[in-house]
Homo-oligomer: A and B are copies of this chain.
Amino acid sequence: MRPTVHDIAAEAGVSLATVDRVLNKRPGVRAVTRDKVERAIETLGYVRDVTAANLAKGRTYPLVFIVPAGDNSFMRGLEVEVRAAIARSAAERTEITILSVPAFNPQALAEALEEAHRRQPAGVAVVAIDAPEVTAAVKRLRDDGIAVVTLVSDLPGSARDHFAGIDNIAAGRTAGNLIGRFLGSREGPVAVLAGSMLVRDHRDRLEGFQAVMRDHFGARALLPVIEGQDDAVLAEKLVAALLAAHPDLAGIYSLGAGNRGLVAALETTGKAGTICVVAHELTPYSRAALISGTIDVILNQDAGHEVRSAIRVLKAKADGLPVIAAQERIRIDIFLKDNLPNGQA
């Protein structure tokens, strides 16, 4: 049977109240006595029963999640995961509010951060946009003792406590390596379809991709980046124009969320399957395109992992506890047709 506070009190020869004072760092204990208790804790191997402690404390963690609106499948999936976390909030002692903001709009995001601030939560998770007004709003939150975690897209150089997302430079490098090797000696240039250079994750992916292409596949031409604003209609138009202008196009790296338009353009022009396509985020659309062969590889970040990690980190930061970085790392999933999980998503 694992030891309880009572056992420690007995072992140390002190009262329950003193053990409590030591455990909860309350004042009024002499150093000698504190030592006795700590030795008892050590020898008995006592570990506080966190669940009982939480029950007794009745502590809860009010959190705010700020997520971009719009029909971006990945972001909708992210929101589903936040709602799943809300469903678990009883067990996790969280009280989660979701704020929805227009995509790629720094001002609206800064205002949402202010709104979050007014609610005085223990922590805020935000899909960031790399802009000064956002950085400033984050700083105000932190100055007020509110923990801030960036989600999916980071805000480096800001006061945020943590970033819950993938290493996007590594993701871009991986995409470059795969496209380069899949194409092998095949001729033809490679294009990049992005969402917006306003968000850090897209910029980072591009940087990693370009670095690998330059360093390891220098012979292959890289076309100028296309920005599709993560909008299906716009992306389709741009990709169609691209295919017309470059009949010898060998590969496309889609680093944003415009996959529906990309796939539509490839399929209507009859180019599907002839061009090596690496895209991001596993959604019902991209999954179908991977199976049909229109997309060759999907790089994915697990939104559920990100949300759960963000919550763990926010709780820890709110309590002033350290975060085990290695445990909170979000991995880059690589899906080929052959290792696609047959479940949902």
Which residues does chain B contribute within 8 Å of A182, judged by CB atoms? 181-182, 184
Query: A31 on the interface (CB 8 Å rule)?
Result: no
Q: Give residues 295-345 of A contacting B (CB, 8 Å).
A: 325-326, 329, 331-334, 336-339, 341, 343-344
Query: A212 on the interface (CB 8 Å rule)?
Result: yes
Shortest CB distance A198–B (Å): 25
Query: A170 on the interface (CB 8 Å rule)?
Result: yes
A52 & B49 in contact (Cβ 8 Å cutoff)? no
A343 & B329 in contact (Cβ 8 Å cutoff)? yes
A51 & B47 in contact (Cβ 8 Å cutoff)? no
Query: A118 on the interface (CB 8 Å rule)?
Result: no
CA distance A333 to B185 in the complex (A): 27
CA distance A284 to B292 in the complex (A): 37
Which residues does chain B contribute within 8 Å of A176, judged by CB atoms? 338
**In-complex Cβ contact of A51 among B91, B181, B331 (8 A):** B91
Q: Give residues 184-227 of A contacting B (CB, 8 Å).
A: 184-186, 208, 212
A90 & B2 in contact (Cβ 8 Å cutoff)? yes
- The interface size bin for chain A is 35 or more
**In-complex Cβ contact of A212 among B2, B329, B338 (8 A):** B338
Query: A178 on the interface (CB 8 Å rule)?
Result: yes
CA distance A325 to B332 in the complex (A): 22
B2 & A177 in contact (Cβ 8 Å cutoff)? no
Name, among A55, A332, A333, A338, the residue most crowded by chain B CB atoms within 10 Å (CB to CB).
A338
B336 & A177 in contact (Cβ 8 Å cutoff)? yes
Query: A174 on the interface (CB 8 Å rule)?
Result: yes
B338 & A173 in contact (Cβ 8 Å cutoff)? yes
Query: A244 on the interface (CB 8 Å rule)?
Result: no
Which residues does chain B contribute within 8 Å of A49, judged by CB atoms? 55, 90-91
CA distance A326 to B342 in the complex (A): 9
**In-complex Cβ contact of A333 among B177, B329, B331, B343 (8 A):** B331
Query: A15 on the interface (CB 8 Å rule)?
Result: no
Beyond A170-B339, A334-B336, 16 extra complex contacts between A and B, CB < 8 Å: A51-B51, A51-B52, A52-B55, A167-B339, A173-B338, A177-B338, A184-B184, A184-B185, A185-B185, A326-B343, A329-B341, A331-B339, A331-B341, A332-B339, A333-B333, A333-B334
Q: Which 7 residue pairs are nearest across A and B when measured between Cβ atoms? A: A173-B338, A184-B184, A51-B51, A334-B334, A326-B343, A174-B339, A174-B338
